[in-house]
Amino acid sequence: MSIDAQTPENATHFGFETVATADKAGRVRAVFDAVAPKYDLMNDLMSGGVHRLWKDAMADWLAPRAEWSIIDVAGGTGDIAFRLLDRMSPQGARDHTSPQGSGSVTVCDINQAMLEQGRNRALDQGKLHGLEWAVGNAQSLPFPDMHFDAYTIAFGLRNVTEIETALREARRILKPGGRFLCLEFSTVVLPVLDKLYDTYSFSVLPRLGQMVAGDAEAYKYLAESIRRFPEQETLVDMMGDAGFGRVSYRNLAGGIAAIHSGWRL
């Protein structure tokens, strides 16, 4: 398990640093405030564009229906929401300039700056309908019980203060039979790849962050937060403890990332 069992009471981890539990959300918000304008560009540079394939795989595995109401948590810039919206049509893409269908995707993020980037991208792409935008914390979402058909979160779960609380909250807002999908960096399962990935994460990423986004510390935190995230089987157990059934996962790129799936049965 990647989480440090020795963390003191009323404290948590912020990367490799131990901080007061009450302070983590604010520090995470500050990280994404700093990187929001260059967030999508950095994702392309960091992964060589592979993150797009991972997000496509997540959307394909969900296979959303046209009438569904979906929430994408920590989805600020809209990458997942746009993919889901395009798939909520038998044609594989829909005319977003006029209302049609009953389905929608709500993008919920704790960070206003990220949501602003997402709304601007939606306007630029002509996605004028089927999207809602909401500021909210994954641990206390501003939605009623049993409200959504599906819940997605991509590269966001590792940034919450209490993963267990966020998982229970995800189940709370899902309808019976609703599905939870999490795409997240995970534990590399290939012996040679793990060492190369460590070198890349801690040597290259901060330098790239400094050059492109002007913030090496933000990307140092992101690399550290990946290492502190629970490994694949541990997250399976945590999802089960939160009440999800039929939990499974798929490794991507040798475990650099993984998609976890669960159902509110």
Percent of the chain with pLDDT over 70: 92
* Cα atoms in the Cβ-side hemisphere of radius 13 Å centred on 253: 21
pLDDT above 80: residue 89: no
Reference 109, options 78, 131, 83, 86; nearest CA is 78
Tell me what pLDDT residue 98 has. Answer: 44
249/165 Cα distance (integer angstroms): 20
What does the pLDDT read at residue 3?
A: 43
Residue 44: its pLDDT value, please? 81
Distance from C-alpha of 33 to C-alpha of 94, rounded to nearest angstrom: 31
Lookup result for tokens 């960091």: 46
Q: What is the mean pLDDT of residues 178-204?
A: 91
Comparison of pLDDT for 24 and 167, the residue scoring more: 167
Give yes or no for residue 71 having a pLDDT over 50: yes
pLDDT at residue 1 is higher than 50: no
Domains and CATH numbers, the chain: 25-263 (3.40.50.150)
Per DSSP, 39 falls in state: H
Chain-wide mean pLDDT for the chain?
88
Which of 96-105, 119-128, 218-227, 231-240 is the most confident on average?
Answer: 231-240
Beta carbons of 158 and 226 less than 8 angstroms apart: yes
Q: Give me the mean pLDDT over the 150-156 stretch.
A: 96
Find the mean pLDDT for residues 43-68.
92
Phi, psi angle pair for 11, to nearest 5°: -135, 160
Q: How does residue 200 score in pLDDT terms, banded at 50, 70 and 90?
A: confident
More confident residue, 77 or 34: 77
- Position 66 confidence tier, pLDDT thresholds 50, 70, 90: very high
| 187 vs 44, residue with greater confidence | 187
The predicted model gives 52-78 an average pLDDT of 96
pLDDT band with cut points at 50, 70 and 90 for residue 173 = very high
Cα angle 20, 23, 29; round to 5? 145
Helix (H, G, I), strand (E, B) or coil at 184: strand
Give the pTM.
0.85
Per-residue pLDDT tens digits for 5-15: 455 678 887 78
Beta strands in 37-173 (DSSP E): 69-73, 104-109, 131-135, 148-154
- In this prediction, residues 184-203 reach a mean pLDDT of 89
CA-to-CA distance for 9 and 27, rounded, in angstroms? 19
Report the pLDDT value the prediction gives residue 101, as an integer from 0 to 100.
Answer: 58
Q: Is the pLDDT of residue 201 over 80?
A: yes
In whole angstroms, give the CA distance from residue 103 to residue 105: 7
**pLDDT tens by residue, 94-124:** 555 444 557 999 999 999 999 999 999 999 9
